[in-house]
């Protein structure tokens, strides 16, 4: 308990010490790396996932690529890219690492969102004379949006946790307190940094959870509200 109290005291003191950046600057660095990486990954993965879900082609390739990307050790990849690209391009190396980490979740969220749509809805759209583009934009994307947001949610949390490693190559972020505190045996700083990373992840998770609920189409939300609760069991004997 004393270590937890010391860590909280270090957080609220607002003076990190040991030559580290102030907490607001570290938060800003962490968020910048996270959002830039997730945005770049989305530009790559979301159109590809929508194309796979819309056409039904390339799913096996996407699954294989996603599985391979998940198996890559992010810390080792970060160090490898820094060595290859040079110390003058450490930010670019870090962003590439985080982008590769975010792509699998975004890709899966994009195409599974389309695959989860009842085919009867697609057939109804075709029966009314909708073009493939209209089906894509008016049916598939709106109905697939909740699972896509879930992909954003998973990707963001993974990147937030992994951006902590950027401190190993002196790129700042909240991980600098953990990396700096270990050799100095300032465990309150180490625990404080870990608490800050966890708190940031929880806040972002909550934001995406609310966003996922808000973006659920009204018709789907109404259907879920009208659906009977399977946990409720009615008596076989009529009252």
Report whether 36 contacts 95 (CB < 8 A). Answer: yes
Question: What pLDDT does 17 receive?
Answer: 73
Mean pLDDT over 178-184 rounds to 87
Where does the pLDDT of residue 231 fall: very low under 50, low under 70, confident under 90, or very high at 90 and above? low
Model pLDDT, residue 159: 94
pLDDT tier at 183, thresholds 50, 70, 90:
confident
pLDDT at 111 over 80: yes
Does residue 16 or residue 202 have the better pLDDT? 202
Alpha-carbon span 33 to 74, nearest angstrom: 15
- Reduce the DSSP state of residue 60 to 3 states and report it: helix
Nearest to 157, CA basis, from 208, 95, 210, 94: 208
Residue 47: count other Cβ atoms within 10 Å of its Cβ: 11
Cβ atoms of 163 and 33 within 8 Å: the answer is yes
Contact (Cβ atoms closer than 8 angstroms) between residue 103 and residue 159 = no
Residue 120 has pLDDT above 60, yes or no: yes
Spatial neighbors of 34 by CB under 8 A, at least 6 apart, are 98, 156, 159, 160, 163
The pLDDT value recorded for residue 1 is 60
Between 25 and 228, residue with greater pLDDT: 25
| pLDDT exceeds 90 at position 233 | no
Which tens digit of pLDDT belongs to each residue from 140-170?
A: 888 888 899 999 999 999 999 999 988 888 8
Distances (CA, A) of 22 to 29, 117, 138, 198, 220: 11, 47, 47, 18, 45
pLDDT at 239 over 50: no
pLDDT for position 204: 94
Is 238 a residue whose pLDDT tops 50? no
pLDDT tier at 219, thresholds 50, 70, 90: low
Q: What is the tens place of the pLDDT at every residue in 44-87?
A: 999 999 999 888 888 888 878 777 777 788 888 888 888 888 87
Q: Is domain 2-221 classified as CATH 1.10.3720.10?
A: yes
């Amino acid at each position: 308990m004393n270590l937890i109290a010391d860590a909280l005291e270090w957080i609220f003191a607002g003076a990190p010490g040991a030559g580290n950046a102030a907490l607001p600057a570290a938060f800003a660095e962490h968020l910048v790396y996270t959002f830039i990486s997730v945005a770049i990954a989305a530009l790559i993965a979301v159109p590809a996932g929508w194309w796979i879900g819309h056409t039904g082609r390339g799913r096996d390739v996407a699954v294989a690529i996603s599985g391979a990307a998940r198996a890559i050790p992010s810390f080792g990849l970060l160090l490898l890219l820094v060595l290859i690209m040079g110390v003058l391009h450490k930010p670019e190396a870090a962003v590439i690492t985080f982008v590769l980490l975010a792509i699998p979740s975004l890709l899966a969220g994009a195409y599974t969102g389309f695959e989860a749509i009842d085919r009867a809805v697609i057939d109804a759209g075709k029966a009314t004379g909708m073009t493939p583009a209209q089906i894509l934009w008016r049916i598939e994307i709106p109905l697939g949006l909740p699972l896509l947001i879930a992909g954003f949610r998973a990707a963001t949390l993974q990147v937030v946790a992994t951006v902590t490693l950027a401190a190993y190559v002196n790129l700042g972020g909240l991980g600098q307190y953990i990396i700096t505190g270990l050799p100095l045996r300032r465990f309150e700083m180490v625990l404080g940094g870990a608490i800050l990373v966890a708190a940031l992840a929880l806040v972002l998770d909550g934001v995406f959870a609310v966003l996922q609920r808000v973006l659920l189409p009204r018709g789907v939300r109404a259907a879920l509200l009208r659906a009977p609760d399977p946990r409720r069991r009615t008596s076989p004997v009529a009252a």
